[in-house]
């Protein structure tokens, strides 16, 4: 089969095989059995990054003295009032139903002694509403969804295909160009609707909980196709990553009673304003403050000289020893396994060194409440998308049900659109041919001696960490944006040493690098435009929240000359006017 051929035509094509993509596929198959559905992923679905989620999934259970309104308010407040409240209300209403449906599909939620669903506390949540499956929640959720897709013959899978371009003609998305990694062939797959669900872009930073596959592919594809990205300046640090690998030590460890202590063995969070209304924060719950404020507290501890030096930067310690071996083995077995394997320490007897680490993108492809992404036939869900329920800071355990709720919504919306969409136009073949020429030219470009993909990527990551870290300034972001522009020119000229076609990882890395450069530029330019401090975006030159000028989303679009352009979009407020972020009531 020659490069550039159209290998298949589908009604709806999902890009990404994680929770959001598979949930969208099931929604389509269940509601529109006559539609031809496909899932394309650059990894086998069970290797999607969703599998690594540990802590749990939030959903209010009325029997546990919880309400939808309380979950909604916690999410609105946690977002620092930048979350769209219509989307948040829909999310909290549908999350419990989605979690219960997942149990019917085989997810083994942990149970209370009386057989009811077990829930645990999570940061920023006033009630215990986080469902969990020990501390391997993402694995069990994804496994249940994956095996559910297998019963639908309508779902075709393209495992280990890497999408390089969205095909857009006549004002609508009509498919993709992708590389089949096993053969290296460049093929087109057409579709009446495309759902982007490729996850986040943590690899734009050097120290992240994200897998190597999280390179912002879906966001970059949408941006180049003409769809806007939203709220890209909001990048979440998780306060407890292992210092060598960046592997996450789940928030569940603190939910079960773990303590964060500094070099003096002192629970330092009691010295910081985490949004609790009392001047004397409750010692049991202060480790469950919002992630942005816990990460900021770490920086202040380091400035005071109260952290511990390690070969991989300053650290504090997470203390689980008082929980006991029985609780750790029953509720946190994966935490113990990770510590033993990657740090050679046993948390039953020893302190765990941790530091803040890039974890999640609040921003992403701008969508409406049903996943529509600004171009006819294009939808997005999961971390790739920004609907927005997370605003300036995501609360822990909201991301997994977000994948389910908006994966299902985007799937149903894409199915409805595809049911009446016209056939693919012949004009897209010219775009396919153009993409084949571009990729062949990249393979044929001679590689220099010094400027390889890895070197440019490392410089990009160090630039982003310096310019867009936990605390930022206008000059640092401006300097970073200039550096990223210079890196773009080098990335555009990079050559490939490996000219073979099957499983050419250097070619994939070069294409991922282009995506990372685009995303890094969007993060910095959006941050420069937001002259305030809100949630995860903290500017020392503008330390206050400014609702008068910046109670608005930032959209990033490609201008006609290819440069990014920043616009504002009002935040949707339904019931809760902006107020102080308060936790622990």
pLDDT of residue 580: 85
pLDDT of residue 278: 39
Q: Which of 120, 238, 317, 530 is catalytic?
A: 238
SS3 assignment for 113-173: CCCCECEECCCCCCCCCEECCCCCHHHHHHHHHHHHHCCCCCEEEEECEEEEEEEEECCEE
If you average pLDDT over every residue of the chain, what do you get?
94
Whether residue 584 is predicted with pLDDT greater than 70 in this model: the reply is: no
Q: Are 383 and 199 in contact (CB under 8 A)?
A: yes
* Domain 240-357 identical in fold to domain 431-570: no
CA dist 196 and 193 (Å) reads 10
Closest-CA residue to 57 (of 154, 122, 8): 122
CA dist 183 and 473 (Å) reads 46
* Number of alpha helices (DSSP H) and beta strands (DSSP E) in the chain: 15, 19
Q: What are phi and psi of 22, to 5 degrees?
A: -70, -35
CA dist 288 and 285 (Å) reads 5
Q: pLDDT tens digit string along 172-222?
A: 999 999 999 999 999 999 999 999 999 999 999 999 999 999 999 999 999
Q: pLDDT tens digit string along 531-569?
A: 999 999 999 999 999 999 999 999 999 988 888 899 999
Q: Cα dist. 8→192, 424, 497 in Å?
A: 12, 12, 31
Taking the domains of the chain in order of start, what are their residue ranges? 240-357, 431-570
Q: pLDDT tens digit string along 100-149?
A: 999 999 999 999 999 999 999 898 888 999 999 999 999 999 999 999 99
Helix (H, G, I), strand (E, B) or coil at 563: coil
CA dist 52 and 138 (Å) reads 6
pLDDT of residue 154: 79
CA dist 301 and 308 (Å) reads 10
CA dist 402 and 549 (Å) reads 29
DSSP code, position 571: P
Q: Which of 47, 165, 254, 553 is catalytic?
A: 254
Q: Out of 1.10.3720.10, 3.90.700.10, 3.40.605.10, 3.20.20.10, which CATH number does the structure's domain 240-357 have?
A: 3.90.700.10
Q: Are 524 and 463 in contact (CB under 8 A)?
A: no
For the question of residue 140 being annotated catalytic, the response is no
Q: Are 188 and 167 in contact (CB under 8 A)?
A: yes
Q: Mean pLDDT, to the nearest integer, of 136-165?
A: 95
Q: Are 100 and 26 in contact (CB under 8 A)?
A: no
**What is the token pair recorded at 73?**
């308010």
CA dist 518 and 176 (Å) reads 19
Q: pLDDT tens digit string along 408-458?
A: 999 999 999 999 999 888 889 999 999 999 999 999 988 876 679 999 999
Query: HSE of 529 in the Cβ direction (CA atoms, 13 Å)?
Result: 23
Q: Can the peptide bond before residue 517 be classed as cis, meaning omega within 30 degrees of 0? A: no
pLDDT of residue 64: 72
Q: Are 363 and 79 in contact (CB under 8 A)?
A: no
**What is the token pair recorded at 577?**
């006017």
Q: Are 123 and 286 in contact (CB under 8 A)?
A: no
Cβ-based burial of 284 (10 A; exposed 0-12, middle 13-18, buried ≥19): exposed
* H/E stretch holding 295: helix 291-303
Q: What are phi and psi of 252, to 5 degrees?
A: -60, -30
Percent of the chain with pLDDT over 70: 97
pLDDT of residue 275: 61
Q: Are 388 and 368 in contact (CB under 8 A)?
A: no
Whether residue 357 is predicted with pLDDT greater than 80 in this model: the reply is: yes
For the question of residue 359 being annotated catalytic, the response is no
SS3 assignment for 380-435: ECHHHEECCCCCCCCCCCCHHHHHHHHHHHHHHHHHHHHHHCCCCCCCHHHHHHHH
Q: pLDDT tens digit string along 248-301?
A: 999 999 999 999 999 999 999 999 877 644 334 444 468 988 898 999 999 999
Whether residue 375 is predicted with pLDDT greater than 60 in this model: the reply is: yes
431-570 maps to which CATH number? 1.20.58.100
Q: Mean pLDDT, to the nearest integer, of 234-260?
A: 94
Strand order across the 552-558 sheet = 385-386, 364-366, 229-230, 552-558, 564-570
pLDDT of residue 290: 87
Q: Mean pLDDT, to the nearest integer, of 62-82?
A: 92
């Amino acid at each position: 089969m020659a490069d550039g051929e159209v290998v298949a035509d589908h009604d709806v094509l999902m890009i990404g095989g994680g929770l959001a993509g598979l949930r969208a596929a099931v929604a389509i198959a269940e509601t529109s059995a006559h539609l031809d559905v496909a899932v394309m992923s650059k990894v086998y679905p069970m290797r999607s990054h969703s599998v690594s989620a540990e802590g749990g999934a939030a959903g209010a259970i009325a029997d546990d003295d919880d309400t939808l309104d309380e979950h909604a308010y916690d999410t609105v407040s946690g977002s620092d009032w930048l979350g769209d409240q219509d989307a948040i209300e829909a999310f909290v209403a549908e999350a419990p139903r989605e979690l219960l449906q997942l149990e019917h599909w085989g997810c083994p939620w942990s149970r209370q002694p009386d057989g009811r669903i077990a829930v645990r506390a999570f940061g920023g949540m006033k009630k215990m509403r986080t469902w969990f499956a020990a501390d391997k929640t993402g694995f069990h959720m994804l496994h249940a969804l994956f095996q559910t897709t297998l019963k639908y013959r309508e779902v075709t899978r393209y495992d280990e295909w890497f999408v390089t371009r969205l095909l857009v003609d006549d004002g609508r998305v009509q498919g993709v160009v992708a590389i089949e990694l096993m053969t290296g062939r460049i093929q087109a797959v057409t579709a009446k609707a495309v759902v982007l669900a490729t996850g986040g872009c943590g690899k734009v930073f050097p120290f992240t909980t994200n897998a190597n596959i999280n390179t912002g592919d879906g966001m970059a594809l949408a941006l180049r196709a003409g769809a806007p990205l939203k709220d890209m300046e909001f990048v979440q640090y998780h306060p407890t990553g292992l210092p060598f690998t960046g592997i996450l030590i789940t928030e569940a460890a603190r939910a079960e009673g773990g303590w964060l202590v500094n070099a003096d063995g002192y629970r330092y969070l009691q010295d910081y304003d985490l949004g609790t209304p009392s001047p004397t924060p409750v010692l049991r719950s202060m480790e469950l403050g919002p992630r942005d404020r816990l990460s900021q507290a770490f920086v202040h501890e380091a400035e005071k000289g109260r952290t511990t030096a390690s070969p991989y930067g300053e650290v504090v310690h997470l203390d689980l020893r008082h929980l006991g071996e029985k609780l750790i083995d029953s509720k946190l077995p994966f935490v113990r396994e990770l510590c033993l394997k990657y740090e050679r320490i046993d948390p039953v007897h020893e302190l765990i060194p941790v530091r803040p680490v890039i974890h999640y993108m609040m921003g992403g492809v701008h969508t409406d409440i049903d996943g529509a992404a600004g171009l006819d036939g294009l939808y997005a869900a999961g971390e790739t998308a920004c609907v927005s329920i997370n605003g300036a800071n995501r609360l822990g355990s909201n991301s997994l049900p977000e994948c389910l709720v908006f994966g299902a919504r985007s799937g149903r919306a894409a199915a409805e659109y595809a049911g009446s969409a016209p056939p693919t136009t012949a004009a897209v073949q010219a775009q396919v041919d153009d993409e084949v020429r571009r990729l062949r030219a990249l393979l044929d470009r001679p590689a220099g001696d010094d400027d390889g993909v890895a070197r440019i990527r490392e410089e990009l990551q160090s630039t982003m960490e310096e310019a867009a870290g936990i605390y930022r300034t206008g000059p640092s972001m401006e300097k970073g944006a200039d550096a990223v522009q210079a890196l773009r020119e080098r990335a555009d000229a990079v050559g490939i040493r490996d000219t073979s076609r099957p499983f050419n990882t250097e070619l994939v890395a070069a294409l991922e690098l282009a995506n990372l450069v685009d995303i890094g530029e969007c993060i910095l330019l959006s941050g420069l435009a937001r002259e305030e401090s809100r949630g995860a975006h903290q500017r020392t030159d503008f330390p206050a929240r400014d609702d008068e000028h910046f109670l608005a989303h930032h959209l990033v679009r490609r201008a006609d000359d290819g440069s990014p352009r920043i616009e504002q979009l009002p935040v949707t407020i339904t019931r809760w006017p902006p107020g102080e972020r308060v936790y622990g009531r």
